[in-house]
Each structure stands twice: as C-alpha cells, then as structure tokens.
C-alpha cells in the first residue's frame, strides 16, 4: 500500500521573473516596472505606476545606447479587469525591442468616463495618430493629446467598437448578443 500522501502542498506563488535589460535601465532612473512573460522572445514590462509613462518613454527614446526611437504601434486592449495600453518600441539603429504595458484597472474608471493615460504626442509625433485611433476604437483617453478626435469612424459615432460590451447599432435594435453573427 503506497504511503499516505498528505494534503497537496498549497501552490506556491510564482516567483517574480528576473529583471530584464530595459527594466534594469528604467530602475536605475527611478522608474519601477514589473516583468511580464516575454511576448515571443521580446522583453515585456508593465509600469508600476501609469504616471511614469511619460518619463519612461522620454528616457528610452533619447538614451543613445538603448535608442528605442521607433514607435511601432500603440494598442488598446479591453482585457478582463483592465484596459491595457500597449506600446511596441523598436530602434532605427540597433536590434532592441521592447513592449511596455500600462494597465488601467476597470474598477477605477468612473461610470460614464473613459480610462486615462498620458499622451506621448507632445514629444513624439508618431504617437499622434495611433492614440487617436485607440481613442476611437477602444475608448482610452490620452491626456494631453493636441487633437484627440475620432480618426477612422465618423465624428458622431456612438461607442467604441473594440470594447467587449460594444453592440453594433443594428444588433442593439434586434437585441442580439455582442459579437454574434448575422
């Protein structure tokens, strides 16, 4: 008869991932980050405080050895409990790549308002249209944007189409579940 095993040990909380090159660089400049699992081999970090975004981006862009000066894209994601603003940074001069995420908890968003994050457009023109697009489609308000208006949808469009709870105008009329096929 096999020895009686005790109750299975409580699952240990996963050890935090070791800090990466860019996380270390930001830490040296006083910006706290948390490493997330790599997205297909690219270092992915989450900013501890969303208010650090502006400073972190300026540092990464202007530093001569890191030189993450190629803003690939800004993505808004409607996750389960958060709205994420995801920044993909590349470099024109070297092979560096970095993904930065800013998580905006849904619980902190007041009803009838949009989640907010600082805009990069003041010092990075490439961010201008990407931020407008994410405002339009996902509904994240980029504070400090010079011209935050809808870019792809008409100016009088109702709602933000890439939200989970978005209902197409016609579906709302027919009382259909969001995302169902017609």
Partner 1 sequence: MVGELTELKTTGLKTDEMIINMGPQHPATHGVLRLILTLDGEFVKHTEPVLGHLHRAQEWQGQNRTWFQYQALIDRVDYLSGMFTSWAMARAAEQIDGTVVPERAEWLRVTVAEMNRITSHLLWLGTYLIDLGAMFGFPFYPFREREKLLDLFEEIAGQRMMFNYIRIGGVMRAPKDEWYKKLEHFVHNFPARIDEYEAIVTENPIFLRRTKKIGLLTQAVAREYGMSGPCVRASGLDYDLRKTKPYSVYPKLDFKMLSMNHESKVGDTWDRYICRIKEMRESTKIIKQCLDMMPKEGELTGKKQNAGLRIKAGEGFAAVESPRGVLGCYIISNGSDRPVRFRWRNPSFCNLSAVSELLTGHPIADIMAIFGSIDVILPDVDR
C-alpha–C-alpha distance, residues 54 and 34, integer Å: 17
> Is residue 148 near partner 1 by the rule CB under 8 A?
no
> Is residue 99 near partner 1 by the rule CB under 8 A?
yes
SS (H, E, C) 23-89: HHHHHHCCCCEEEEEEECCEEEEEECCHHHHHHHHHHHHHCCCCCCCEEEEEEEEECCCEEEEEEEE
Among 21, 32, 125, 143, binds partner 1 (CB under 8 A): 125
Tokens of 99: 């993904």
x/- track of binding to partner 1 for residues 31-50 (CB under 8 A)? --------xx-x--------
Among 116, 151, 159, 176, binds partner 1 (CB under 8 A): 151
Judge residue 77's burial from the number of C-beta atoms within 10 Å of its C-beta, 0-12 exposed, 13-18 middle, 19 or more buried: middle
Among 63, 162, 171, 176, binds partner 1 (CB under 8 A): 162
> Which is nearer to partner 1, 52 or 84 (by Cβ)?
84
Q: Minimal distance in Å, beta carbon 173 to partner 1?
A: 18
- Going from the C-alpha of 107 to that of each of 33, 104, 113, 153, 168, the distances in angstroms are 21, 9, 12, 27, 25
Among 17, 109, 114, 126, binds partner 1 (CB under 8 A): 126
> Is residue 15 near partner 1 by the rule CB under 8 A?
no
Among 32, 152, 158, 172, binds partner 1 (CB under 8 A): 152
> Which is nearer to partner 1, 50 or 75 (by Cβ)?
75
Token look-up 């709870």 returns 165
> Which is nearer to partner 1, 30 or 181 (by Cβ)?
181
> Is residue 124 near partner 1 by the rule CB under 8 A?
yes
Closest CA to 92 of 70, 125, 60, 61: 70
Residue 151 DSSP one-character state: S
Residues 6+ apart with CB under 8 A from 27: 19, 33
Binding site for partner 1 (CB under 8 A): 39-40, 42, 69-73, 75, 77-78, 86, 88, 92, 95, 99, 124-126, 128-129, 137, 150-154, 161-162, 179, 181
């Amino acid at each position: 008869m096999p020895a009686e095993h005790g109750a299975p040990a409580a699952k240990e909380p996963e050890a935090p991932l070791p800090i990466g090159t860019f996380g270390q660089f930001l830490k040296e400049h006083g910006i706290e980050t948390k490493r997330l699992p790599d997205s297909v081999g690219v270092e992915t970090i989450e900013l501890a405080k969303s208010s650090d975004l502006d400073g972190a981006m300026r540092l990464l862009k202007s530093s001569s050895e890191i030189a993450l000066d190629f803003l690939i894209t800004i993505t808004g994601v409607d996750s389960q409990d958060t709205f994420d603003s995801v920044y993909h940074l590349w470099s024109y001069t070297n092979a560096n790549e970095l993904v930065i995420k800013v998580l905006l908890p849904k619980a902190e968003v007041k009803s009838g308002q949009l989640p907010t994050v600082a805009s990069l457009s003041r010092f990075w023109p490439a961010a201008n249209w990407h931020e407008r697009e994410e405002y339009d489609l996902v509904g994240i308000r980029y504070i400090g944007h010079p011209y935050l208006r809808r870019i792809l949808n008409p100016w009088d469009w109702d709602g933000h189409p890439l939200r989970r709870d978005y209902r197409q105008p016609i579906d709302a009329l027919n009382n259909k579940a969001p995302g169902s096929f017609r």
